[in-house]
Structure formats: C-alpha cells, structure tokens
Structure 1
Amino acid sequence: MKKNITLSILSGLLLWIAWPPTPYTTFLLFLGFVPMLLAIENIIQSTATGKGKKIFNTAFLGFFVWNTLCVYWVYNSLKIIGPLVAIPITLIPYALGPLLMAIACWLYYRMRLITSRALSLVALVCFWVGYEYLHQSWDLNFPWMTIGNGFAISHQWIQWYEYTGVYGGTIWIWVVNILVFLLYVGLREAQVKTLRVKLVSAFALVLILPLGFSLYRYYSYKEAVNPSNIVVVQPNIEPYAKEGIPVYTQIKALTDLSDSIGQPNTEFFLWPETAISQYIDEDHILGSNHYAQVKQFINKYKNGNVITGGETYRMYDKRTNETASPMPNGGFWDHYSSAINIENSSKVQFYHKSRLVPGAEALPFGNVFSFLKPVFEHLGGATGAYTIQEQPGVFYSQSGIGAAPVICYESIYGAWVAKAVTEGAQFIAIITNDGWWENTSGKDQHLDYAKLRAIETRRWVCQSANTGISAFINQRGDVVQQSKWWVRAALKQDINLNTEITFYAAHGDYLPKAGSVLAVLGIVFVAIRRKRILA
C-alpha cells in the first residue's frame, strides 16, 4: 500500500513540475500519469478487498498534491472576503478537481472488471475528457487545470491547437502516458517481442508526428500584414486600496500613461479590469464625470477607443427580467462586471462578464442556494451579485475593427473566446486585475494560458493587467512584449489584425463533446453490466 501511495504522490509531483510557469520541464507531462497508472494496476492485480475504494483514495491523493501545488495562489485572491468564506471556496479548485479526476480513475477500474485493459484505457481517456468538459461547463466550473493547458509554456509544440483546442493536448498527453505505461507493464509481464515493437512504434509515431507538424507550422506560419497600433496600460494600483483613492486620480494615472506613448494612429487603449472603480449607471453614462474625463482624453486621438473595465448597473422600477435583484430602498437592479468601449462619438459599447469565478463572483446553483446570498453579502463577498451576458461580445471601432473583450477568468475558456472571433473580432483584448493573486505563479499562468487563445484563433492577444503582467502575444503564441510585475507601465505595439477563421474557432469544443458522449455511454455500460452481475 505504501508503494502505491508513493507512486500516486510521484505522479502529482511530476505533473506539478511540468506545469506552467516552470520552463524546460513540459516533457514530464508525457510521464506524469504513468506512476498513477502503475499504482492503479498494482491494486487491480492484488488480492486486496475494497479495490475500488483504494483506487479512488490513491488517485485522489496524487491529484490533490498536483492541484494544490499548482493553484495554491487561489486563496490569496479570496482572503479579502474573510476566512469563513475563502477557505470553503478555495476547496473548489483544491479538492473538487481531484475528486472528479479520482472518479474518472474509479470508472476506469469498473470498466476493467467487465472488459479488456486496452478498451478500458480508451474509456479512461473518454472519462477524463468528460470530467474536464463538465468542469468547464457546470456552475462549479474551474477549467484552470485542464491538462491541455500544460503546454502553454511550450506553445511551439501545440500549434495544431488551431484545429483541436486544448482538449487535443489532453488526449495527446493521455495517449503518450498510456503507451509508456503499457511498455513498462509489457516488460514486467514479459510480453512477446512483437507486441513490444508495436508499442514502441506507436509511441514514436504518437509523440513525433504531432510535435513535428507543430514545429513545422510554427516556423512556417506567416501573419498577413494588417497593422493596427494598440496601447496597453498597467496603472499598478493596489487592488485592496482602490476604494481609498479618488476615481479621478486613478483615471488621470491611466490617461497620463496612455498619453506617454500614444500616437496619432493609435486605435485602442486597453485599461485593466475595474479600472473605473466606482459604479456607473449604463443608462446615464453620458452624464457621468468619469465618462467625461475619459472622453476628454480620447478626443485627442481621431480613431481612438478606450476599452476599460468598470462596475456598471441598470435600475428598474419593477422586475422586468429574471436577473434583476431587489434593492434595499425599493426597485430592482442588474449589476455587472463590465468592459466598456468609449470612442470619439456619443456611442458607448458594453460587454458584461459572463464566465464568473464560482463562489467569489457567482453562487453555484444559485436557484437552489439563493438563501445563502445574504450570508455572502454580510461577510463582504460579491457572490451572486453579478448579472452575466449570455453571448460573447465584440467591440467595433468607428473604422470597423472588431475587438473581443475578455475579462480576467474568461480567458481560459477557449470556445467562448473563439465564438467572439467568429462574430467578427480581429484581435483579443484581455483586461484583468491579477493583483489579488499577489506575486505568485497565478499571474504567470494566466498570461501563459492567453498564448493558447492566440494559437486557437490565430489572433493577437493584447492584455492589460492592473499590477501585471501586461503583454502583447502574436498569432503564433509568442510573447512579443510584456511588462514586469508591480510596476507602473504602458506598452504599445503594431499588431496584425486577422479575419481568417480557424477550424477550432468554427467548430468549437467538438472533441470534448464527443468524449463526453462516449463517457456517458461507458458509464451506462458499466451500470448495466454491474446490474446484471448483481442479478
């Protein structure tokens, strides 16, 4: 038993060492699951009782180690709402992810009881992909640890994400790990030489062909020249002290930084999430002093636009929709975490953040647990307060350029960002704070994951982060410019706009959808066979 626990922990450590932002260790993703598979195999082949429970516990331990070491920084971003709230919410990524991963391994064991090892391993990949898609789609979503994200630090290896998205990487990692596992088990079980030769050949092909194609695509890819000058601003305002700084002073810092490098042909200035830290009434924004201050700045740039984050709302005399919440003094309102586009006209465009952080920004299964909203509000949290937008948005400049506004956490949702591209976005504008995470690997992982969105859609990514890291990423996923952490900065870049639609952007998450269907069929198959055996 101790040997299996050691193997499980070893898997967790290997996957952690391989994970962004650690450089030069990505190759360990191809070996990280092998010790876990060996531990599961040892339990299956043993004479012990309660094998299913042992497999679940062993798998959970290793995956808990991996997840905790990779996303330890989550607690920093939540501690402002108090330990009574932050600690249970932190369990979403720390424990829920490993729980679902362990269930996938337990289902693999159940499949092994009724079919061959080879077929069960195919089912394991489907169960895993199904778990990842579930963890991206339901109210407790946290797809940060989707395995395909692990290649973000070595983006040259996965240029074919423009066809598959990150789930292609998930499948690739699992197939290589399974082949290594089968080779090792084959030596241990003294399998015939011809079978080992076939496994070695399959391993070489599965590893080399995708890697070779990706490197060829990376070095041969050429961007069509279609320049647009963009400025990203990093004001470096302490997020916990924002409310104590006059909004006028904060906006002036942003306009001064923008002016310091802006040029006559600059078309977009990107300011970070919550750059305007005071509530703005969307229906009366033209009368807002904050809007007037931004408008006075942008008037100097003929084709200029400011994309900024802000807290906005709409008020109603009576409840006109399901999302409106009652106000203490009567009436109703919708409250948004927004991106706002301000240009040289009276037109103002809004986008409302749609992918909210479970617990911190949205109450999971809110219809069931709506009675808990007052508790979160009393403790200082924003849970359940934001109203979302059901579809991605695109901001259009007066010259017709389309920008995909992406707010913080949304940048890890490949299909969501890709859908904005199919709606006309020619580049991706990520606005984020990232100061909540402090100087941890969270900010680095967030930037690394943005590289994947560039490859999937073949769009430049421009990221403005309050405290860093702000950056420009080209269509191959290369970080062309980036700021340092915790400094006041502004960067400008001539990016190339793109109107071509990649296969992934056009078809979205077709791989995990197919894998989820197969996973459900596998679960039904296991349940039916188990029922027959018990009968």
Structure 2
Amino acid sequence: MNRKADDRGRRASGRILRYLPPPILHPVVFSSLCGVLLALSYPRPGLGFLAWFALVPLFYAIRSARSGFHAFGLGYLAGFVFYSISMHWMTHVTSLGWLLLSVMESFYIAVFAWLVYLGKRTRWSAVFKILWAASAWTLTEFMRSEIPVFGFGWNLIAYSQASCPAMIQAASVIGTYGLGFLIVCANVCLAKLFLKEKKRPRGAAAALFTSVLLIICGVFVYGEWRLKGEEKPEEFLRVSVLQGNIPQSLKWAPVAREKILEIYSKLTELASLDMADLVIWPEASFPGYFNRDFQSETVKRLPVLFGTPLLIGGLHWEAEKEVYNSAYFLDKSGEITQRYDKLHLVPFGEYIPLKPFFFWLTPIADALGISDFSPGKDAVIFRWAREEWPFGVLICFEDVLPGLARGLASRGAKFLAVITNDAWFMDTAAPFQHLQASIFRAVETGLPVVRAANTGVSGFVSSRGEVLSTVKNEKEKETFIAGRATYDLPLTTRKTIYSGGGWRFPYFSIVLFTFLAVLMMRRGMHEKI
C-alpha cells in the first residue's frame, strides 16, 4: 500500500511539473503566486481555504534558490505582493505609507524564506524540517506583531479562517499563533508531498498525506465539537451599538459638529426604544474634547433623558502636550464614572515614534492631520450598576493585540467592547479584515465582543467567534451606512485553555526553533552558504 501511495505521489508530481513555466522564471513566478494566494485568503474576497496551501509555491521557489540571499529575496517578493494587495486600502490615507508598510512587513516573510532555505539544506528527517519551518513562521509572525513601536499584527495567517467558525476554535487552546503553526505545518507537508525529491523514504508520501488530513480534519472536528457544546448563559445583557457613518472629511469640521451630535442623539433615542441596558458609540464619535467642550453637556443629558448608560469615544485634554484618545462611561445620571485612555497608539497615525530620529516627519504629519496623542497609563475594567457585567474596552487597532485582550479577561471582564473608526480607508476590505481580529480575540478569551465602528463593521461576536448580528441596511450592506443594532448578549463564565496558559504557545514554538537552530549549528548539518 505504501509503495502504491508513493507511486501516486510521483505521478502527481510529474503531472504538476509538466505545466510549470520555463525554469528561469520558476522562482519569481511562484513567489509572486504565493503572495497572490495569501492576499486572496483575506477579505476581500476572503477565500480562507487558500491559506492551507498558499505557501507551497514559495517552498517550490526556495528549492531553486542558489543561496540564502536568493531565498531571502524570493520571500521578500512573496511578502511584498501579499501585503501590497491585501493592504491596498492604505492608499486612501497615504500611498507612501502603503508602500513603506508593505516594504517593512515583507521583511518578515523574507526572513522566514531564508530560514526555510537553511532547513532545506540539512540532512534532517521530514518531521524535523516541518517543525523547523512551522516554528520559523511562528517566530517571524510573532515578531512582526509584538515588536515594540513597529509591531503590526494585521492579516496573520490564522485570521484567514475567521469566516469559518469551526476552523478557528483551536485558537481557544493554542491561540492565533498556534493555529498559524498548524496551517504552516499543512503547507510544508503538501509541498513535500507534491514536489519531487531525490530520495524519498518508502511510505513518506502516505505519511505526508495522512499528516495533512489529520491537521485539517483535527482542527475542523475539534471546532465542530466545541460549537455543538451547550453554553448555558447565566444572564443576558441588552446592548446597542451605533454606527453614525460620519465621513472622515467632516469628522472634525466645526460646521459639522451639530449635525454629528444630532445623528448620534437620534440613534441613542432609537436604541432606548429597544430597551437597551447599554449604548455604545464609536471611537472619537464626540467631535471634540469631551472634558472641555461645552457641547458635551448635551451628550451628558442623554442618559438622564433615556435612562440608559452610554460608552462614548472622545478626546481627553489634559495639557497642550497631553491629549488622549479615550472612552468615557456615563451612568444614568449623566456623570462620567470611568475613563479609559488608549494604551497602544498607532505609529505615524496617532503619534510620531522615536522623535529624535523621525523629527523631520513632524511637518508632514501636521499637513496630513496626524494627531500627537499621549499613551494611556493602564487598562481599565469598567464596573457599573450591572455589577455582574464588568467589561474592558479596546480602541481602534488595539484588538489586534492578543495580550491586551487576555489581560482584560484575566482582570474580570465579562465582555470586550471595541470602538473604532475605519472611515479613513473608505469602502474597502479594511473593516472586514479588522473584524477578523475581534473574532479571534473572542475565541481566545472566551468573551463576547461588541463592536461600534463609525462606518462599520459594527455588531456582536459570540464567545466562539460567530458573528451574531451587525448593523446593515435593507441591501445587507454593512459598511458606510448609518444605523444601530441591538442584541441580547449572553453572560458565560467558561474560561478557555488559551487564557489559562495556551497563550504561551508562541514562546514554546520559539524554544523549539532555538533548540533546532542550536542543533543545526552544533552538528554542522547544513552545507556552506
């Protein structure tokens, strides 16, 4: 049976190789193809299944690499194609920023390709090579997400599965990075299965094929099992999210202030008719400094008038050089009882980092309207009249940080509120890619996520990553429309394995990578580069 499987594998490899382009074009074509497949895995169109074999063309290109530097360049090409396509929405803010971000993010896939090249030249067994490649991916993805200042965990490979709840439940155990590890393992197995090798041990093809099936089916079966498990909510909280759909060009215009407040006041009134326990406005929905602007008094009267507490995004002014991007909680009496100041600011968007080096960008930033905010000092758990319903707030891109959401969960939050403004990026894939991060934070922490976005996507995500309800119009459009959505949020107290310790998976993966790297160097298991 093993011999037959090997013969089938060789015949399949031969059929594939028959249709390949001329050898001189192989590396460039296949690296570019990898980038295109990765980009197509995310919204839009969001063909998540492509991620399970999107890296195979890159592995084929690396087989043709003449040196480590050549492999690095092929990886860089794949990364640049991927990021420049999937994050093309950045051009609506700045074309230069889009180019620089693509250039910077591509570096990590280039390093990954170089590491795969090193592993390819060893005399290791297939198992060690698979673990080497998967741990190398986890290392580079973890670095590009978590590195201080320039970390940007956007479009992680696991996020490609966000539209299929069954395929993301593994994140409740090993997190986003762990699911990414499994996806890369499947890619390596497929590459070794379909690409010709000089000496393939008997039964290797069958083992590789079985490994791919076990990974994909294992992830799916576990997901289905977890989704079918009964959750008995202790209580429900009725929450309304508002989506004002204020164009970015008008958001801070003095002449538009009255209209903006009128829109949100009307939406709040409609939410009160839904008998909401809590109404949430988006990030910076109040068009000014909430603690200094006289128009904030109008907003403070709304909870008194409608009998509903509000969570409002607005700026907070402490001093000329101390301004915060904040979330205010107004109780039923209209008093500000708590405030959260955004901790993780967007570099070159909300502040200029490393000013001794980038001071020359200040005039450009001022011309582009880039703010210079101060970072907050600590995360905040909002505790209010509903004592059993404390919650944490994430502002804008903070939901791409797994550690921040996990910290809120560990401090007793029963749900997470994400307030954001993605109007900058116009009617593109950006809001839907952003939603993927919220979905994974829900699965990892086991907490439902409530999203209020100025132009969408606003709605509710269950503790298992299912999108329960969103703001949409009669044509089912979810972005760049005004409206509200109200939902009865279930209160559950189930703690995930991820929160209990599974979040350490990337560190275990890095330890594995380090062990293999030391083994490689000590035993001289690679040829001269």
Normalised TM-score (structure 2): 0.86
- Secondary structure of the residue aligned to 1:259 is helix
Deviations 1:206-252 (A, max 9, x none): 22122111112112342414111111111111111122244343223
What residue in structure 1 maps to residue 326 of structure 2?
A: 338
Render the CA deviation track for 1:303-322: whole Å, top value 9, x for unaligned: x321111111213xxxxxxx
1:386 to 367, 373, 376: 373
Does 2:106 correspond to 1:98? yes
Of 340, 344, 360, which aligns to 1:355?
Answer: 344
Q: Does 1:164 pair with 2:169?
A: no
Residue 16 (structure 1) aligned to one of 39, 61, 66: 39
Residue 431 of structure 1 aligns to a residue whose secondary structure is strand
Q: Which residue of 1 aligns with 2:15?
A: none
Note if contact 2:439-2:461 (Cα within 8 Å) is conserved in structure 1. yes
Contact 1:133 1:516 in 2 (8 A): no
1:44-84 per-residue CA deviation (whole Å, 9 max, x = no partner) reads xxxx4xx11211111111221111111111221x33xxxxx
Q: CA RMSD in A?
A: 2.6
User: What is the match of residue 507 of structure 2?
Assistant: 513
Q: Secondary structure at the match of 2:84?
A: helix
Instruction: State whether residues 133 and 185 of structure 2, in contact with CA within 8 Å, keep that contact through their aligned partners in structure 1.
Output: no
**Kept after mapping to 1: 8 A contact 2:133/2:188:** no
Q: Does 1:137 align with 2:126?
A: no
Q: Alignment partner for residue 247 of structure 1, among 257, 261, 274?
A: 257
Measured at CA, do residues 134 and 381 of structure 1 come closer, stay the same or move farther in structure 2, by a change above 3 Å?
A: farther
Question: Which whole-Å CA distance do the structure 2 matches of 1:70 and 1:262 have between them?
Answer: 39
After superposition, the C-alpha distances for 1:379-428 in whole angstroms (9 at most, x for unaligned) are 34436x22222443221222212122111111222221121122121111
* Counterpart Cα distance in 2 of 1:130 and 1:455: 22
State how far apart, in whole Å, the 2-side matches of 1:367 and 1:179 are.
46
The aligned counterpart of 1:497 is: 491
How much has 1:9 moved relative to structure 2?
A: 1.4
The answer to whether 1:217 aligns with 2:231 is no
Match of 1:269 in 2: 279
Measure the CA separation in 1 of the matches of 2:168 and 2:362.
45
Per-residue CA distance 1:461-495 (angstroms, 9 max, x = gap): 21111122211222222222212222220111111
Contact 1:108-1:121 at 8 Å conserved across structures: no
Residue identity in the other structure for 2:397 = Y
Equivalent residues of 2:87, 2:98 under 8 A apart: no
- Residues paired across the two proteins, number: 494
Does 1:305 pair with 2:309? yes
- Partner in structure 2 of residue 322 of structure 1: none
Opposite residue 31 of structure 1, the aligned amino acid is F
State the secondary structure of the residue aligned to 1:362: coil
> Among residues 306, 309, 314, which one is paired with 2:318 in the alignment?
314
Alignment match, 1:320 = none
Amino acid at match of 1:349: Q
Q: Which residue of 2 aligns with 1:291?
A: 296
Q: Distance in 1 between matches of 2:85 and 2:361?
A: 31
Question: AA paired with 2:138?
Answer: V
Asked if the contact 1:151–1:157 (Cα under 8 Å) also holds between the matched residues in 2, the reply is yes
Q: Are 1:126 and 2:130 matched, yes or no? A: no
Aligned to 2:363: 375
Say which SS state the counterpart of residue 288 (structure 2) adopts.
Answer: strand
1:259 corresponds, among 256, 269, 272, to 269
**Residue 177 of structure 1: how far off its partner (Å):** 0.7
Given candidates 402, 406, 425, the residue that maps to 1:437 is: 425
Deviations 1:335-394 (A, max 9, x none): 111111111243431111122222212334x265263464345434436x2222244322
Partners of 2:75 and 2:239 in 1: CA distance: 47
Call closer, same or farther: CA 1:350–1:29 in 2, change over 3 Å. same
Q: Distance in 1 between matches of 2:304 and 2:218?
A: 53
Q: Compute the displacement of 1:499 (Å).
A: 3.2
**1:395-410 to 2 correspondence within 5 Å?**
395-400=382-387, 401-410=389-398
1:173 Cα deviation from its structure 2 partner: 0.6
C-alpha separation in 2, matches of 1:243 and 1:63: 36
**1: distance between equivalents of 2:132 and 2:311?**
45
Distance 1:399 1:205 in 2: 45
The letter of the residue matching 1:500 is R
2 CA distance for matches of 1:529 and 1:280? 63
> Is 2:38 aligned against 1:2?
no
CA distance in structure 2 between the partners assigned to 1:363 and 1:113 by the alignment: 43
Contact 1:265 1:301 in 2 (8 A): no
Match of residue 447 from structure 1: 435
Assess if the C-alpha contact under 8 Å between 1:155 and 1:451 holds in 2: no
State the 1:115 CA deviation: 4.9
Residue pair 1:64, 1:94 contacting (<8 A) in 2 also: yes
Stretch of structure 1 that moved more, 453-462 or 166-175: 453-462
In the TM superposition, what is the alpha-carbon distance from 1:526 to its structure 2 partner? 6.1
C-alpha distance in structure 1 between counterparts of 2:154 and 2:274, whole Å? 39
Counterpart CA distance in 1 for 2:323 and 2:515 is: 41
Amino acid aligned to 1:299: V
The amino acid across from 1:307 in the alignment is L
Change (3 A) 1:74 1:341: same
Mapped partners of 1:196, 1:240: distance in 2: 58
Indicate how the Cα distance of structure 1 residues 348 and 53 shifts in structure 2: closer, same or farther if over 3 A, else same.
Answer: same
User: Is the contact made by 1:266 and 1:301 (CA closer than 8 Å) also made in structure 2?
Assistant: no
Matched residues in 2 for 1:412 and 1:437: separation? 17
- Residue 177 of structure 1 corresponds to which residue in structure 2? 187
Which consecutive residues of structure 2, in runs of 5 or more, have no partner in the other structure? 1-23, 472-477
Question: Conserved in 1, the CA contact under 8 Å of 2:417 and 2:450?
Answer: yes
Does residue 1:420 correspond to 2:408, yes or no? yes
Alignment partners' CA distance in 2, 1:222 and 1:248: 44
Structure 1 residues 266 and 378: alpha-carbon distance in aligned structure 2, compared to 1, 3 A threshold: closer
Unaligned runs of 5+ in 1: 80-85, 316-326, 328-332
Tell me if structure 2 keeps the 8 A contact 1:114–1:529. Answer: no
Choose which of 48, 55, 59 in structure 2 pairs with 1:26: 48
